[in-house]
Amino acid sequence: MEDLACLWLLTQQTLKLPPAAFRRVIAHTANPRDLLNLPPDTRTALLLSKQHLDKLNRVLARRHADQDLQSDLQRAKVGILCRHSDNYPPLLNEIYDAPPLLYFRGRSELLTNPLFALVGSRRPSRTGRSDAEAFARALSEVGMTVVSGMALGVDGAAHCGALTGGGSTIAVLGTGVDQCYPRSNASLYERIAHEGLLISELPLGSPPMRHQFPRRNRIISGMSLGVLVVEAALRSGSLITARQALEQNREVFAIPGSIHNPASRGCNSLIKQGAKLVEQLDDILEEFAGWLDSAPSSACGHTANASAVDIETSSPIYQALGFEPVDIDTLAQNLGLPISELLSLLSDLEVEGWVEQFRGAWQRSR
């Protein structure tokens, strides 16, 4: 079937049709050779001229033309799928602007698994990053493959959480699949290439361009059963993914946050608009009972253990903090401690993972 995908890539490069026109062509017929025998009215409807088809005929008649192209892809350690390939994501094939071709590195068989997207802020709080890892790990443990965009922050945490849980993950790139962006995710890129899957609709060598990432997001949502937004501001790109998911008739979920935290306002806004509020894994799994044989009843988020109880009962600082940021001056005044001493104690709690700084203030991280 990959040979067929290479034929379609050759056809795309030959015809040079606008993206929407090429989508119509590949949706109309499974094999590009069939285009040569189209009746005139169908050819006109698909915006194919006689010159187009004469040129395509010459290219397809050239011996080994598609095999040469496939060899180039193999040298780059890249595969390609078309909409008629067995491993093309079935849900993605349902959206109106499904990409005709997908380039990939890694395990393309993952595309036929139950897929679930997890997205969020590029600059998450420690709690947001931890939640992304925990939910991704839990989703992978029940058999879902976690999909995200390999951006900094929540995306990267989601990929890592899924792999740590012994599961699988797919990164949808806004560049060519042979390009790592951002460069700081180079080790994650290589890990996903070996243990998971990297995919992109963009040709090899495509650099990062601003307009490509919103377009990429429709693939993240389109191939997935649902989308969980972990932490997002009101203008976050994650809200674009959520909006596209709604347009594609996918389930949208969001983790709520403090009304005082700007990074939570996007999630809170989604919930007001009808997204399902998520506090534990079961809040997601109950929407997909038909897709999974079983699901754990335990919560996915942070749970209190004996050491947590000890911290809460023994530390006045921890007791004085909540999940809403408190500035250091107010905290020092409430506790009656010098700021220098308070900062030292907060640093100890931060190292142990109990508190975190957010925009110059302090809050609990669990």
3-class SS of residue 98? coil
pLDDT at residue 333, as a whole number: 86
Order of all β-strands in the sheet with 361-364: 326-327, 361-364, 355-358
Backbone phi, then psi, for 64, in 5-degree steps? 65, 15
Catalogue the E-assigned strands of the chain.
79-82, 101-106, 115-119, 145-148, 169-172, 197-200, 226-229, 251-254, 276-277, 326-327, 355-358, 361-364
Render pLDDT for 297-342 as a digit per residue (tens, 0 to 9): 443 444 333 333 444 446 788 888 877 788 888 888 888 888 888 8
Order of all β-strands in the sheet with 115-119: 79-82, 101-106, 197-200, 169-172, 145-148, 115-119, 226-229, 251-254, 276-277
Contacts of residue 237, defined as CB under 8 A and 6 or more positions apart, other chains included, come to: 213, 214, 217
pLDDT at residue 69, as a whole number: 82
Count of beta carbons in the 10 Å neighbourhood of residue 282? 16
Buried/exposed code over 175-201 (b: 16+ C-beta within 10 A; e: otherwise): bbbbbbbeeebeebbeebbeebbbbbb
Q: How many whole angstroms separate alpha carbon 160 and alpha carbon 233? A: 22
Beta-bridged to residue 358, according to DSSP, are: 361
Tens-of-pLDDT digits for all 366 residues of the chain? 468 999 999 999 999 999 999 999 999 999 999 999 999 999 999 989 989 999 999 988 886 777 778 888 888 899 999 999 999 999 999 999 999 999 999 999 999 999 999 999 998 888 889 999 999 999 999 999 999 999 999 999 999 999 987 889 999 999 999 999 999 999 999 999 999 999 999 999 999 999 999 999 999 999 999 999 999 988 888 999 999 999 999 999 999 988 878 888 999 999 999 999 999 999 999 998 766 654 444 434 443 333 334 444 467 888 888 777 888 888 888 888 888 888 888 887 887 777 888 777 888 776
pLDDT at residue 63, as a whole number: 66
pTM of the model: 0.81
Q: How many whole angstroms separate alpha carbon 226 and alpha carbon 196? A: 19
pLDDT at residue 305, as a whole number: 35
Q: Which long-range contacts (CB under 8 A, 24 or more apart) does 59-68 make?
A: 59/10, 59/11, 59/14, 60/7, 60/10, 60/11, 60/32, 60/33, 60/36, 65/10, 66/3, 66/6, 66/7, 66/10, 67/6
Render pLDDT for 62-74 as a digit per residue (tens, 0 to 9): 867 777 788 888 8
3-class SS of residue 351? helix
Using the structure block, give the residue that is written with the tokens 């945490």: 157
Using the structure block, give the residue that is written with the tokens 């040079």: 16
Question: Quick check: 204 and 235 in contact, CB under 8 A?
Answer: no
